[in-house]
Structure 1
Amino acid sequence: MSQELKDFQLEFAGIRIGHGTSIPISEIEGLARPGVRGEAVERPNADGVWLAPDWYEARTLRIDCGVKTPGDPAAAARIVAQIEEAADDPRVRTVGGAVTSLRIKWPGAPVRVLYGRLRKAEASWENAAFGWVPLDIEFTAPDTRFYADTQQSVELKLGWLSGGGFTAPVQAPIRVSDGDLSGQNRPGWVTNNGTIDAFPVLTVYGPCTNPVITHVESGRQIALGITVPAGEHVTIDTRPGQRTVTRQGGGTVATTSPLGDFKLPPGRSEIRWIASDPTASARLTVAWRDAFKTLVNPKETPVR
């Protein structure tokens, strides 16, 4: 986190705007339910219409604000320049699918994050001599979810239970212990504390061959018919707008597994994985952010 936000404040590229800052906001749109796209088809020879499925459009925040630096127009110009530079960042602007973060602090909720791009940052200079520069800002988020400000992660070695294995001396018949069946110490538990599905980033660290990752409750799997050498890793990004499998050096990996189906539902669920590894040193990390439908979760304990 780059700054500790207060109620009615937003932050992008290290620039904080809103209540109590030098960039007060007069109006903001786009924080409620996003727009939908879907047809209403007339029913032949009948009253009413047939409603096609409704799909969310991108979430676009329209922020009417201004730079307020009384008696110091040069300071206002510097702040506007910072915002323009943030909107012109080539690492985001010129790379397909690349996004940046917009952090939001609203009353009754912790900081939430949207991922998207600054698509507009237009200043009006009529009153710049008085240290007042109105700004019209637009931020477009292709993924409409709000995310937690902090990322969670777990690391899994090969084998899905802790405490299991062989009991010496080994005699026929060989019995394998299931470890802790209570589930309290099983390493694959992941918890999405949000209200909507979250999409994880999975990283497989070698050496291993043919890794298969399973979300236990849904049965959905991601299978990679590859070898990951020692000292290297492969990243499986299931997030909307990303959904790629890339090697450490940047090359992509083909997979027939539908990455968009691999998700963490609200609540606790379990991840397991298998692979061939003669060294027993391979590992998998699962990283995710809790995901929310709304900026303020109505079931969440209010943040004061």
Structure 2
Amino acid sequence: MLPDSLAWQGLTLGPPSVYQLLRLDGWEDMPPLDSGDEPRPARHGSWAGTSYAQARTVTVTGRIRALPVDIRDRVRDLRRVCAVPDDDTLWPLVATVLGESLTVDARVSLRVISLDKYSRLGHVPFTLQWTCPDPIRYDPDPVHLAIVPGAARPAPQQGTTSSRPTITIYGPCTTPTITVTRPGRPPLSVGFAVTMFAGESLTLDCHAGTVTASWGDDITGTLTAGSVPVEALAIPVGTSTVALAATGTGATTRAHVTYRHAYL
């Protein structure tokens, strides 16, 4: 597949840059799957389980076409943004393919810059590869929902797999609970047995599975009965609803939900 452009670490590959793109692999592919199937002990076959995608590997091949006086600097630029990382930090890789832009967090895992007799003329082939531990690609533009107590807001999700939101709940309130109601499936709820005053907030990162209280306490052990783990709360494909329930609410009580359309 020939991408329109790639953006990585401030460098754009593709028109109108000198970095011509010839082929993109792994972007639209289904990543390898870990099967949750369990062999039947006394029958043929297996019990069906959930499959989970492994890391995504994205590979691009291209060539630098620059003026002879510029080629050294353009090679240096590519070498700089595709250097071996010093830590486990991931950076956004944005690919625009057939007019659609999606982003995934990645790190460079391969850099091949081929030098031959044509290099001094400004022609240098290259191959780059990224590893994406989270294989899901996201729409760069997030969806924002503001929800007041007792209300439910529709949450359209146009991707192909569930998206885990970031949710901030603002006090005052007691026992705040967020519920995602999914068509044809049981609802998912996360609730906390805490009391929040005006000016205090809880932030749920459902991707990382963490909860941060603005007043500094560790509240991971305060989940209410029937609550799912924070990491299990997700916005599914299609249109679901998100609701906030709580007691002791006030004028500033609300929840702010942010998520992105997710594609696997």
**Aligned with residue 206 of structure 1, among 166, 171, 181:** 171
The amino acid across from 2:13 in the alignment is I
Letter in 2 for 1:136: T
Q: Secondary structure at the match of 1:74?
A: helix
Please give the alpha-carbon distance, in whole angstroms, between the structure 2 residues aligned to 1:251 and 1:100. Answer: 30
Question: Residues of 1 paired with 2:112 and 2:197: CA distance?
Answer: 49
Match of 1:272 in 2: 243
Where do residues 112-131 of structure 1 align in structure 2 (5 Å cutoff)? 112-126=102-116, 128-131=119-122
Q: Aligned ranges for residues 58-207 of structure 1 at < 5 Å? A: 58-71=55-68, 72-84=70-82, 88=85, 93-95=87-89, 99-107=90-98, 109-126=99-116, 128-160=119-151, 188-207=153-172
Cα separation, partners in 2 of 1:264 and 1:207, compared to 1, 3 Å? same
Q: Residue 119 and residue 243 in structure 1: after superposition, are their counterparts in 2 closer, same or farther (change >3 A)?
A: farther
Once the two structures are TM-superposed, the CA of residue 42 in structure 1 deviates from its matched residue by: 9.8
8 Å contact from structure 1 (residues 67, 79) kept in 2: no
AA aligned to 2:55 is A
Structure 1 spans left out of the alignment, 5+ residues: 1-5, 161-186, 294-304
Q: Which of 180, 184, 193 is matched with 1:215 structurally? A: 180
Between the aligned partners of 1:291 and 1:111, the Cα distance in structure 2 is 12
- Supply the AA of the counterpart residue of 1:211: P
Deviation at 1:286? 0.8
User: What's the offset of the Cα at 1:223?
Assistant: 1.2
Q: Which residue of 1 aligns with 2:209?
A: 243
Query: CA 1:118–1:229 in 2, change beyond 3 Å: closer, same or farther?
Result: farther
Using the alignment, how far apart are the partners of 2:108 and 2:199 within structure 1? 37
CA–CA distance in 2 between the matches of 1:197 and 1:28?
25
Structure 1 stretch displaced more, 35-44 or 115-124 = 35-44
Q: Deviations over 1:211-265 (max 9, x none)?
A: 11111333211112334443343221112xx221123477754155322331222
Shift of 1:80: 1.9
225, 232, 252: which is aligned to 1:281?
252
- Determine the C-alpha separation between the residues in 1 that align with 2:147 and 2:101: 29
SS of the residue corresponding to residue 111 of structure 1 reads strand
| 3-state SS in 2 of match to 1:235 | strand
Mapped to 1, the partners of 2:158 and 2:32 lie a distance apart of 25
Higher fraction of strand = 2
TM-score by length of 1: 0.69
- Cα distance between partner residues in 2 of 1:57 and 1:289: 20
In 2 relative to 1, CA 141–156 (structure 1 residues): closer, same or farther, beyond 3 Å? Answer: same
Report how far residue 152 of structure 1 moved. 0.6
1:254 to 201, 216, 220: 220
Verify the 8 A CA contact 2:244 2:254 in the aligned structure 1.
no
Cα distance, 1:135–1:249 mapped onto 2, change above 3 Å: farther
Question: 1:57 is matched by which residue type in structure 2?
Answer: Q
CA distance in 2, matches of 1:120, 1:247: 40
Q: Deviations over 1:14-73 (max 9, x none)?
A: 2211354311223322121212244999999x9x97697553221110222333323123
